[in-house]
Structure 1
């Protein structure tokens, strides 16, 4: 069918239906921030991608912003960054080809970051893309950033020793989920992957065998961050990444603290979204959510300019919500992170059993177990409501509390014995116990098996794992079904270990063909198709039980300003942060 040119994307609603970033507007009767419908576009006019970023009203220079988090950031190497905290923190030091301007009030625009624009679809078929690199972009040592350093960064993401990061661009260039078989980085460090070239120092070119209309979005992930080959220290690069952003890592204290200070070679005239207000950012690890919340409530010393990344602990939600002074220092928004009771389709092969699992779950009880709608919202769809083209439906109408009788009817007198694996922390223990009660009330026999939290993802992504069920989660890399449905449910991407479809292990050839069909459409036409496909997957395959989306509810000190909940990743954004003087 005819394809629309990239300019048609100017009118693309980027985050349709998202209750986006907080305006921090509250009344004494309502602890929740005002939900806004986010709007956005792809900025094809180079003026929109130029700096400096608009000043934040009331912002001042100086001071230190502290981010408190229980666990350390797993990776600092931009090609390996793939956690929400890593994605937001990396904005301080790792510029990419594209990025999002997010005003904190719901308006989101995809702009060029290192590139002058979010890319040019050369032949209007989404197969050949060019990015022109901005003048004046530099590393922390003052050396210029060119297309060569960006291309090298992308090339090193093919190295299987550098695990953890996204694999969209690698798979698209290789035209295969097994991208390492098409380009061996370890043996070809002076070469580039097939389809990637640098015609000149200002131009980066991608040539794909198939259309990939989502490339401007995928290019916003830090895997496109630049790196000079001489500065590549392999797996040790995690310890000291080279900055291309407004801050550079000056101290890395072995999993307990990271200190970022100003990068004097960052030029605000080249940057449409970042600021350099604080003298420093400190990421401090170790304190649990209870301790984080209590420290920020106390509002003393450095904690007066701190923010909790983990959010208000459920045991303290009532205290915070019912104190107007504390409530004024909170942020609350639904996030794009969705949790499911994931069914291992390799082991649970009977569709009726998977459908019965869907009828059995008491979602209202799930939300209450987690702490109420301050921290979670029930869902019945595979895509969260923040997604372009989201369709509101319920494939297995069970009401808020589940329908165990309908589940028993589908089971037909059978009592399936299933093993539910869960991460071994208190939250997942409580949630798993609740789910076990739901399922046994509906006729199942459930055995709970704890899995070490730090190995949970690796273990459940092994194709021969021993569990029938597990609590899984996924946060889209951009608000499109393209970064949710094919990533999680295209069976061709299943590997022995480490694949994203290493949860449900659904593999249906008819469904895989549907993914190809929708991905070949212009981005502006994909949204409704993803919504239809979401419903089709649930009705015809029931590979998981959708449970809830996270609600970010966090608290900050009285002296920190400019923070908001990121519209794309639903976590604390710090690029506009400042310390009140």
Structure 2
């Protein structure tokens, strides 16, 4: 089968790199359990091979943003989608691999382009079905893609809208049922998609959640799938009590012979939601009863780092990959943030070491100074606002504020996600800015709705702390959604700064159609530097979280395509009663 390889950090190597502050290094070593391994610092690279059966429990501090894949686009829910949904292609990463691979999923291969990469054709596999036994057809992909373009659903990713020809002005299948000519159904098993521009990376885009098919005769509204998902993956939703719990059971109409990506070891998954992060830590450290079969959906709280130093707990604590950048976004449409000198002053003022401390210290995070990732091929690190020990330069910041006409500072409101780590980071930034007279009021927003709120410009405040990740390790998904002026939307807006710089827009457009990947990445390095020159954001940290799993949990490893966290599709149990 045809597949596409994309560079990524080796899972074993990434775990070691993340632990250099602890004195870690070297090759993964054997651990307890079949084929389990740990790194030299004692943290898990892989928790061993699972057996079939049993129930895996996921302990989560928040609910899912949306069950409809057209609407959800955060790391936690995208990881969950991989259990119940399938796309044309998928990302496959195995423990210790040095590369992520784009492989066929519902399609027979990763797509066939025309000569100039403006058209991609996909042929579907035989034997692929929904949870009710209905065959998945090419028409279902056309319907699902066109449905996802409805304005009411445009709170998720917009990559398909950016790339598919004429999609930008299309209002969705409910408003314009005639659909798009650029998405052609060539019989039950073949689909052809015409793009706005040459795109050599379209197989990566076809792995995104918007490419989940749905039967066109069974989905009649924009709200239906959020309430009643239709599974194409190995599991289906049996029950869902929003804010409390969700249970997945096997989808009996999923054919494992058609799916090389999802081993589907457990018989079921139970997601517990709304739990205090400290409670999650203590339950998993103890690992008693049902918690022996549980996994944390979030990073270990910094206060509990000392409790996992025992070898038996360390080797079931997965060290994750720094695949996301946490940053402070500044709305450049609001005064005085529309002044470049003010934004530069804020960049100089922030004591990033205090944010590292708030995040848990160097064992759990590292400094960031720009918006690409170390795992991107050809990545170039730089810091346009370098300060001594990255602890801020208050004198330089005050000079810039005075030049901008704000010698006494000003007041702003910061949006922050209502989770302890995020609030600690916000308070660290708040303290830094107070040193130069900027009075920051924190607006704490519920964790499950945070991204939707800040992605709605009418509800967005002056500044916000958020993060950005991408399974596709390329400058386009890491930069374009955040900084292209034509990607500012009324809902589902990721350009929180609302920056609309013609030169940056033009450079992003040119890089996106470059078919030589080395030239393309060189262009994104230049764009990355130009963006930081405009200072619409303050890059803060890149987390290297530690996730504790129960002592009976196997198949846990960090996956760069699931924002660096443990990938749910590999999970299972060591033993089943």
Structure 1 length normalisation: TM-score? 0.87
> Which SS does the other structure have where 2:493 is aligned?
coil
Change (3 A) 1:60 1:248: same
Q: Give the alignment partner of residue 111 of structure 1, picking from 84, 103, 108.
A: 103
Superposed counterparts of 1:140-151, under 5 Å: 140-151=131-142
CA distance in 1, matches of 2:9, 2:19: 23
Deviation, 1:305, is 0.7
Change (3 A) 1:496 1:35: farther
The superposition leaves residues 394-434 of structure 1 with CA deviations (integer Å, 9 ceiling, x where unpaired) of 11121321222222333346233140413255434433332
Q: Is 1:33–1:333's contact at 8 Å kept on the other side of the alignment? A: no
Q: Does 1:518 align with 2:511?
A: yes
Structure 2 length normalisation: TM-score? 0.88
Aligned twin of 1:546: 539
The superposition leaves residues 488-534 of structure 1 with CA deviations (integer Å, 9 ceiling, x where unpaired) of 11112223454221x11111111111011100112623222211210
Change (3 A) 1:328 1:192: same
Select between 416-425 and 145-154 the one with higher mean Cα deviation.
416-425
Aligned twin of 2:39: none
Q: Is 2:120–2:192's contact at 8 Å kept on the other side of the alignment? A: yes
Deviation, 1:33, is 8.5
CA distance in 2, matches of 1:195, 1:145: 20
> Which SS does the other structure have where 1:170 is aligned?
helix
Deviation, 1:466, is 7.2
> Which SS does the other structure have where 2:570 is aligned?
coil
CA distance in 2, matches of 1:390, 1:169: 25
Q: Give the alignment partner of residue 398 of structure 2, picking from 408, 418, 423.
A: 408
Q: Give the alignment partner of residue 433 of structure 2, picking from 439, 443, 446.
A: 439
Deviation, 1:361, is 1.6
> Which SS does the other structure have where 1:92 is aligned?
helix
Superposed counterparts of 1:276-355, under 5 Å: 276-320=264-308, 322-347=309-334, 348-355=337-344
Deviation, 1:476, is 2.2
Change (3 A) 1:262 1:222: same
Deviation, 1:380, is 0.3
The superposition leaves residues 353-372 of structure 1 with CA deviations (integer Å, 9 ceiling, x where unpaired) of 21121111211111012211
Aligned twin of 2:489: 495
Q: Is 1:72–1:285's contact at 8 Å kept on the other side of the alignment? A: yes
Aligned twin of 2:202: 215
Aligned twin of 1:378: 367
Aligned twin of 1:262: 250
Change (3 A) 1:16 1:533: farther
CA distance in 1, matches of 2:549, 2:328: 32
The superposition leaves residues 297-320 of structure 1 with CA deviations (integer Å, 9 ceiling, x where unpaired) of 221121101000012222211211
CA distance in 2, matches of 1:461, 1:206: 28
Deviation, 1:188, is 3.6
Aligned residues: 544
Q: Is 1:334–1:376's contact at 8 Å kept on the other side of the alignment? A: no
Q: Is 2:320–2:547's contact at 8 Å kept on the other side of the alignment? A: no
CA distance in 2, matches of 1:22, 1:457: 28
The superposition leaves residues 111-139 of structure 1 with CA deviations (integer Å, 9 ceiling, x where unpaired) of 1101111111112x221111111122122
Select between 405-414 and 512-521 the one with higher mean Cα deviation.
405-414
Deviation, 1:169, is 0.9
Change (3 A) 1:467 1:23: closer
CA distance in 2, matches of 1:33, 1:559: 26
Aligned twin of 1:562: 555
Change (3 A) 1:223 1:193: same
The superposition leaves residues 65-103 of structure 1 with CA deviations (integer Å, 9 ceiling, x where unpaired) of 111101111211222231212111111110101101110
Deviation, 1:220, is 0.7
Deviation, 1:463, is 4.0
Aligned twin of 2:569: 575
CA distance in 1, matches of 2:216, 2:459: 38
> Which SS does the other structure have where 1:91 is aligned?
helix
CA distance in 2, matches of 1:449, 1:24: 34
CA distance in 1, matches of 2:100, 2:489: 35
Change (3 A) 1:57 1:360: closer
Aligned twin of 2:37: none
